[in-house]
Amino acid sequence: MIVALGVTGCIAAYKAVEVLRGLQKRGAEVRVVMTRHATEFVTLLTFQSISGFPVITDMFAPTDDPEIKHIQLAQSVDLLLVAPATANTLAKFANGIADDFLSTLYISSTCPVMVAPAMNVEMWAHAATCDNVRRLRERGVQFIDPEEGYLACKTVGAGRLAQPDEIVRRAFEVVDSSENDHQGEEVKRSLRGERLLITAGPTQEAIDPVRFLTNRSSGKMGYAVAEAALARGASVTLITGPVSITPPEGARTICVRSAAEMYKAVADNLSDATMVVMAAAVSDYRPIANHQQKIKKNGSALSLELEQTEDILASVTRQAGSRVVIGFAAETENVIEGAKKKLAEKGADLIVANDVSATDAGFDVDTNRIALVSSEGVIEFPLLSKLEAASRIIDAAVKIKGSRALSAT
């Protein structure tokens, strides 16, 4: 995903640095465009150093590139995001004034546009600004409205730039929605009639009534797979360990805690599934003894004897039949080799491998860097949002299903 980040001249321009970093952390490549007045608040070098790309400020800057820069950029980005957007910028956009690079980029763009206004409360409430905002909304420009609070002009009211993390979240929502809108009907219906059984999150293996063994899985990857499957017309049963996120609307959700409970829930729902995606990070071991009372500290070392938990993926592949079965391999070293070994041992159709020791991928973050390992080889992807990664996994599942149908004819 490539984002053009427009930064305009107001005191909130410094927060655009946080927006830039937030976009990068979720896997976006960001090209920064600054107005002349924006450079009065934050230096060009700041954005250039963080983005890793030259910052565009001048419509007519000398260059060796023969391409028309604003057209080239307009055709290459997935989103034009302006944060902060001043009243002056909104007025230019609404009235088709193209007198600098940013306003010319806007009028050249066919990608989604989102603006995050920031200004004095009276400027935001002025009839001219309200009229410009209305006209832009009617044209499809997405707004993330300013918040109320104490403003730089020492007044209180609406006008403060929205929180950077909220701007980033909304930016990805806008792009995902746009991509879904532009998907062909064949892609949108690629899972119509399919019934997906998806596992997600960690398991918790009790030591005593207050302690347990678990892992760092947040459930975000499995929930993203469920969301992507629902968007393509599948019915979804989501079996989830303890997480703090909300299941996708439309999924039939079954909450479990331990590996044994997840094993039983999968077994009870397997017969109805046509595809199985085992994204849960199931504990490999549990304490043999589950103490009924809290273990007291007595000044000496404590030893726990562990036993292996149920191998849920192996049990599913033994009963796979015509089902497509996808497993996950969370590794900290030799990622591809570990996934290939798991593919051979478990008998799955596909293993999704990722390095969970990375800071920007794996557990408890919004991005992932996956590799799809199958009998046909290995396909590695760059850093993606987890929803984008989920879409690639669904694409692979559809391809496997199609290949089977073709070989059966």
Provide the annotated active-site residues: 153
No. of H helices and E strands in the chain?
Answer: 14, 21
Phi, psi of 9 (to 5 degrees): -85, 85
9, 80, 101, 144, 186 from 141: Cα distances, Å: 20, 10, 18, 10, 28
Tell me phi and psi for residue 62, to 5 degrees: -60, 140
Say which DSSP state 122 is in: H
How far is Cα 202 from Cα 362, in angstroms, rounded to an integer?
13
In angstroms, the CA 51 to CA 104 distance is 22
The length of the chain is 409
In the block, tokens 């230096």 appear at: 43
What is the Cα–Cα distance from 109 to 142, expressed in whole angstroms?
A: 14
Asked if 112 contacts 180 with a C-beta cutoff of 8 angstroms, the reply is no
CB 371 within 8 A of CB 381: yes
- CA nearest neighbour of 167 among 103, 254, 81: 81
The amino acid at residue 356 is V
Nearest to 276 by CA among 264, 289, 266, 287: 266
Residue 263 CB-half CA count within 13 A: 12
Using an 8 Å Cβ cutoff, are 237 and 249 in contact?
no
Rounded Cα–Cα distance for residues 73 and 89 (Å): 19
User: Which residues lie across from 252 on neighbouring strands?
Assistant: 237
How far is Cα 308 from Cα 310, in angstroms, rounded to an integer? 7
Q: In this structure, what DSSP letter does residue 38 have?
A: G
CA distance readout (Å), 137 to 6, 129, 130, 143, 148: 18, 12, 11, 7, 21
Q: What angle do CA 321, 249, 163 make, to 5 degrees?
A: 130
